[in-house]
């Protein structure tokens, strides 16, 4: 498999996302940050093959726009922003729908068990989706999309796209998701996340893409891209950088 499973060449979506190019390495964890309306969800949907646009998205050396929905599902997982469940099916049935076609069913059961344990869903597997809290439903959705691209079940998978996955999650649940994402990146899955918690991003992301008004302002290693100057320009407010116990933290002040 190529060391660059995802290559973007002049990708755009009307005026919502202006042309943007990038190459994503295997196992990279990338955070997209920027104000509301910056185009983060648009970019993720374009990369996922859900939203049409201009330019070329190469996924595993194949033109994404030429792939069928079934082929896309084998190559990448995509978690869009949260929507309320409408189906009456129980959690375990919803998860089963996300198992890769043709996978080892016994192994899939073990992976489901591990994901349920990691995300504190073990006692929720028989509960109908419509009886879940917002945080429980979000964790079920995350478990399902991880199951879809889990390397032991789906060796063709190379990319996971997550649109604000930490919505409705408490601190311990966020930590559990972080651990899962690190497991996936360690196994070679590239992960791209839209995020709003800047300090969480600078702690976990390998790289950052900075997006504002549909224009990519900067991209690169997290420690190089995330600076007081760049963040202040991106969000239009003043930032300060503090250091405590060898770790830096960004805090905002008044408007510029």
Cβ contacts of 144 within 8 Å, gap of 6 or more:
94, 95, 97, 98
Burial of 135 (0-12, 13-18, 19+ CB in 10 A): middle
pLDDT, tens digit (0-9, with 9 covering 90-100), for 200-228: 999 999 999 999 999 999 999 999 999 99
pLDDT tens per residue, range 9-39? 999 999 999 999 999 999 999 999 999 999 9
Separation between Cα atoms, residue 148 and residue 108, nearest integer Å: 10
Q: Where are the beta strands (DSSP E) in 143-225?
A: 159-163, 190-194, 207-212, 215-221
- pLDDT tens for each residue of 62-116: 999 999 999 999 999 999 987 778 778 999 999 999 999 999 999 999 999 999 9
Number of residues that make up the chain: 256
pTM as predicted = 0.95
Predicted confidence at residue 185, as pLDDT, reads 98
- Cα–Cα–Cα angle for 214, 215, 219, nearest 5°? 125
Residues 21, 11: Cα–Cα separation, whole Å:
6
Ramachandran class of 39: left when φ > 0, alpha when ψ lies in -120 to 50, beta otherwise: left
Instruction: List residues bridging with 5 in a β-sheet.
Output: none
* Average pLDDT of the chain, as a whole number: 95
Q: What is the DSSP string of 56-71?
A: EEEETTEEGGGS-HHH
Decide: 121 and 91 in contact? Cβ < 8 Å: yes
């Amino acid at each position: 498999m190529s060391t660059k499973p995802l290559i973007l060449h002049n990708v755009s979506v009307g005026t919502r996302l202006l042309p943007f190019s990038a190459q994503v390495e295997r196992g990279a964890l990338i955070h997209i940050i920027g104000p509301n309306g910056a185009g983060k969800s648009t970019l993720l949907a374009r990369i996922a093959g859900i939203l049409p646009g201009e330019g070329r998205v190469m996924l595993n050396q194949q033109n994404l726009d030429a792939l069928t929905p079934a082929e896309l599902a084998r190559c990448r997982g995509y978690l869009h922003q949260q929507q309320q469940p409408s189906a009456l099916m129980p959690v375990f049935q919803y998860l089963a729908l996300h198992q890769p076609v043709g996978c080892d069913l016994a192994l899939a059961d073990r992976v489901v068990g591990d994901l349920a344990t990691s995300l504190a869903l073990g006692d929720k597997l028989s509960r109908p989706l419509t009886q879940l809290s917002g945080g429980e439903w979000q964790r079920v959705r995350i478990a399902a999309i991880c199951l879809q691209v889990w390397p032991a079940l789906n060796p063709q998978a190379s990319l996971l796209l997550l649109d604000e996955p930490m919505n409705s999650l408490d601190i311990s649940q966020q930590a559990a998701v972080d651990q899962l994402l690190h497991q996936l990146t360690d196994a070679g899955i590239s992960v791209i996340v839209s995020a709003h918690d800047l300090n969480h991003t600078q702690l976990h992301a390998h790289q950052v893409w900075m997006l504002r008004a549909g224009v990519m302002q900067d991209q690169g290693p997290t420690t190089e891209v995330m600076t007081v100057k760049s963040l202040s320009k991106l969000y239009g407010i003043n930032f300060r950088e503090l250091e405590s116990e060898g770790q830096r933290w960004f805090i905002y002040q008044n408007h510029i």
